[in-house]
Amino acid sequence: MAEIQSDKFFANIERNIRQLTKANGMTLAELAKAIEMTEAGFYKMLSTESMKVKTLIKLAEVLKQPVTDFFEPHAELKQEGSLANEVAEPEGVYVIEKDSLKKQIALLESQIEDKNKIIQLLSNK
């Protein structure tokens, strides 16, 4: 039961970060760079549900929102031009996210390839 509540808690935070990012006309990759995180580190933070308060404060500053907005169960964003009032998000938003995720996958595949080369070099010694 507590695990389900935790999942909902972090799902709300992640959803609100994504919506605020879109409302600010940014991609998640741009947001990661703005808070001085690598894109890989940013996505890992979201996927592992591991966020420091310090990071949430940086996100709030970049997105020009109070930190408390990340914890709202229904992202009723106060920013002008907010996407929260729309019934459906525009398809273009998903294209941007898809491209960002493709870059993330390419980066991870490159890292795996590098690690495999290192392993191969070390095993040849």
pTM of the model: 0.54
Model confidence pLDDT, tens digit, residues 61-118: 998 888 888 777 654 444 444 444 444 455 565 666 777 788 888 888 889 999 999 9
Domains of the chain: 2-124 (1.10.260)
CA–CA separation, 75 and 51 (whole Å): 18
Distances (CA, A) of 44 to 32, 40, 41, 49, 73: 11, 6, 5, 8, 22
